[in-house]
Structure 1
Amino acid sequence: MTSAANSPRHPRHPHRPSWAGRNYTLLTAAAVVTNLGSQGALIASAFAVLDAGGDGGAVGLVAAARTLPLVLFLLIGGAVADRLPRHHVMVAANALNCVSQAAFAMLVLSGEARLWQMMLLSALGGTGQAFFSPAAEGMLMSTVSGEQASRAFAMFRLAMHGAGLGGAALGGAMVAVIGPGWVLAVDAVAFAVAAALRSLLDVRHIPPREPGGGLLSDLREGWREFVGRPWLWTIVAQFSVVVAVVGAADAVYGPLVARDSLGGAGPWGLALGAFGAGTVGGALLMMRWKPRRLLLAGTLSVFPLATPAAALAVPVPLGPLCAVMFVSGAAIEVFGVSWMTALHQEIPEDKLSRVSAYDWFGSIAMVPLATALAGPAEDAFGRTPALWGCATLVVVVTAAVLCVPDVRNLTRRTKAVTQGVPAPDVEPASADAEGSAWRLG
Structure 2
Amino acid sequence: MSAARTVLRDPGFLRLWTGTTASGLATWALPFVLGLGVVQGTLPAVELGLALGVRTAGFLAAMPAGGVLADRYPRRATVGWSGAVAAAGSAGTAIALTDAGGLVLLLAGCAMAGIGQGACRPAFQALVAEIVVDDGRRQEANAAVTFAVRGTTLFAPVLTALAATVVPVSGICWGIAGLWALVAVAVAVVGTGAGAGAHRPVATEARPGFVAEFVEGLAEARRHPWFLAGLGALTAVIATGYSATGVALPLVSSETYGGSTVLAAALTGYTAGALAGAVIVARWRPVARGRVALAGLALYAVAPLSLLTPLPVWVVVGAYVVCGVGIELFNVPWFTAVQREVDPAKLARVSSLDFLLSYGLAPLGLALIAPAIEVFGLQPVLLVCAAVCLAGPALAALAPGARRFTASTPPRRES
Listed as ranges, the matches of 1:191-210 within 5 Å are: 191-203=180-192, 205=194, 206-210=198-202
Q: 1:41 to 1:347 in 2, by over 3 A?
A: same
Letter in 1 for 2:232: A
Give the SS at the match of 1:316.
coil
1:130 paired residue number: 118
Give the SS at the match of 1:262.
coil
Letter in 2 for 1:375: A
Are residue 118 (structure 1) and residue 125 (structure 2) matched?
no
1:79 paired residue number: 68
Q: 2:402 aligns with which of 407, 410, 421?
A: 407
| CA drift at 1:117 | 4.1
Q: 1:351 to 1:292 in 2, by over 3 A?
A: same
Give the SS at the match of 2:326.
helix
| CA drift at 1:366 | 2.1
Kept after mapping to 1: 8 A contact 2:123/2:348: yes
Which stretch shows the higher mean deviation, 341-350 or 39-48?
39-48
Are residue 98 (structure 1) and residue 87 (structure 2) matched?
yes
Q: 2:231 aligns with which of 219, 236, 243?
A: 236
| CA drift at 1:328 | 0.5
Kept after mapping to 1: 8 A contact 2:241/2:385: yes
Letter in 2 for 1:209: P
Give the SS at the match of 2:256.
helix
| CA drift at 1:200 | 0.9
2:298 paired residue number: 303
Are residue 34 (structure 1) and residue 26 (structure 2) matched?
no
Q: Deviations over 1:2-59 (max 9, x none)?
A: xxxxxxxxxxxxx96267422211011122233344433331111224524523x654
Q: 1:81 to 1:119 in 2, by over 3 A?
A: same
Are residue 108 (structure 1) and residue 97 (structure 2) matched?
yes
Q: Which runs of 5+ in 2 are unaligned?
A: none
Kept after mapping to 2: 8 A contact 1:65/1:123: yes
Which stretch shows the higher mean deviation, 170-179 or 223-232?
170-179
| CA drift at 1:253 | 1.6
| CA drift at 1:207 | 5.0
Kept after mapping to 2: 8 A contact 1:41/1:171: no
Are residue 142 (structure 1) and residue 130 (structure 2) matched?
yes
2:217 paired residue number: 222
Distance 2:389 2:5 in 1: 39
Give the SS at the match of 1:198.
helix
Return the structure number with greater relative CO, CA threshold 8 A, min gap 6. Answer: 1
1:365 paired residue number: 360
Kept after mapping to 2: 8 A contact 1:142/1:419: no
Which stretch shows the higher mean deviation, 231-240 or 82-91?
231-240
Q: 1:289 aligns with which of 261, 279, 284?
A: 284
Distance 1:198 1:236 in 2: 28
Q: 2:44 aligns with which of 54, 70, 73?
A: 54
Q: 1:39 to 1:217 in 2, by over 3 A?
A: closer
Distance 1:359 1:124 in 2: 22
Give the SS at the match of 1:110.
coil
TM-score (norm 1): 0.85
Which stretch shows the higher mean deviation, 121-130 or 355-364?
121-130
Listed as ranges, the matches of 1:213-362 within 5 Å are: 213-362=208-357
Distance 1:18 1:393 in 2: 36
Distance 1:244 1:372 in 2: 10
Q: Which runs of 5+ in 1 are unaligned?
A: 1-14, 422-441
Distance 2:151 2:266 in 1: 16
Distance 2:96 2:276 in 1: 39
**Identical pairs, percent:** 24
Kept after mapping to 1: 8 A contact 2:241/2:300: yes
Q: Deviations over 1:40-93 (max 9, x none)?
A: 3331111224524523x6544332222222222321211111001111110111
Are residue 181 (structure 1) and residue 170 (structure 2) matched?
yes
Q: 1:18 to 1:373 in 2, by over 3 A?
A: closer
Are residue 390 (structure 1) and residue 388 (structure 2) matched?
no
Letter in 2 for 1:121: G
Kept after mapping to 1: 8 A contact 2:164/2:172: yes
Kept after mapping to 2: 8 A contact 1:38/1:167: no
Which stretch shows the higher mean deviation, 71-80 or 275-284?
71-80
Kept after mapping to 1: 8 A contact 2:129/2:339: yes
Q: 1:264 to 1:94 in 2, by over 3 A?
A: same
Give the SS at the match of 1:98.
helix
Kept after mapping to 2: 8 A contact 1:291/1:412: no
Distance 1:412 1:171 in 2: 45
Kept after mapping to 1: 8 A contact 2:287/2:404: no
TM-score (norm 2): 0.90
Distance 2:43 2:149 in 1: 33
RMSD: 2.5
2:140 paired residue number: 151
| CA drift at 1:419 | 10
Q: 1:410 to 1:363 in 2, by over 3 A?
A: closer
Q: Deviations over 1:78-110 (max 9, x none)?
A: 111100111111011111111111111122133
